[in-house]
Amino acid sequence: MTDALYLSNAYLRRFDAEIASAGPEGIQLDRTAFYPSGGGQPSDRGHLIFPDGVDVSVVDVHKTPEGILHVLEKGTGGIPGQHISGEIDWARRYAHMRYHTALHILSGVAYRELGSGITGNQITAERARMDFAIPDFDRARADELIEGVNAVVREHRPVTVRYLPRAEAEKDPTLVRVAQELMPDVDVVRLIDIEGFDVQADGGTHVANTSEVGNARLERIENKGSRNKRLYLVLDPPQAPLH
């Protein structure tokens, strides 16, 4: 299996690894900083650099039963046991981190104010959306939720990772707000802890402090059924240089 470096260090951009397997479908490494698509967050993109200096673009990353597969722009290349280096597209990753943390804050605000769980979400580098089970939802209520997000952003709260056995996590409904069928099949649940505000089960990448999210703005809302409501948000460009 692949050692998923992004789980413990979302800010890792470059890494060294060994090719575990290579085939027409792509390359599997013994360790990687590339995030595979999942949980509403798209996969990372970037480059793998081989010992002879050949630089190949990574165009997709996804999980397989054997590990994390890197799909390359120009075939596979490389042989098992070969040592290579990798570099992720940091601007794309950092945008995903900011939006993913913004959605966690939004989920926490909605849960506190409306008691609503999440029925779906999707992140891109330009915007994010979240679906709620809220029957009575309009622009005014959406604006209130976004203001709640920005209030938490302004509080500069640390965002950390911790772990909990699945059996314990399932006893606390506040930790798992997605539909139960979306809960990953794992024995130990990874938690994203926004200090003093919210804790949720999640396998994605996040910023280290809510201040990095920046100002959120409501883009639009949509009705997706009698109860399911969709909210789109966009973030202003980061005020500080990328890490």
pLDDT per residue as tens digits for the range 112-142? 888 877 888 999 999 999 998 887 888 999 9
Q: What's the predicted TM-score (pTM) here? A: 0.92
Give mean pLDDT, residues 58-71. 95
Fold entry, domain 93-235? Threonyl-tRNA Synthetase; Chain A, domain 2 (3.30.980)
Residue 181 pLDDT level (bands cut at 50, 70, 90): very low
What's the pLDDT band for 201 if we cut at 50, 70, 90? confident
Task: State the span(s) of the chain assigned CATH 2.40.30.130.
Answer: 3-88
Instruction: Flag whether pLDDT at 243 surpasses 70.
Output: no
| pLDDT at site 126 | 97
**Per-chain mean pLDDT for the chain:** 90
Looking at residue 182, its pLDDT comes to 44
* Positions of CATH 3.30.980.10 in the chain: 93-235
At 38 the pLDDT is 92
Average pLDDT of the segment spanning 32-60: 95
Position 20 scores a pLDDT of 96
Q: E-assigned strands of the chain? A: 3-4, 14-23, 26-29, 31-32, 46-49, 55-63, 68-72, 83-88, 118-123, 128-133, 159-165, 188-194, 198-201, 216-223, 228-235
**How far apart, in whole angstroms, are the C-alpha atoms of residue 23 and residue 72?**
11
Class of domain 3-88: mainly beta
Residue 123 φ/ψ, nearest 5 degrees:
-120, 140
Instruction: Give the Å distances, CA to CA, from 29 to 105, 114, 140, 227.
Output: 33, 44, 48, 43
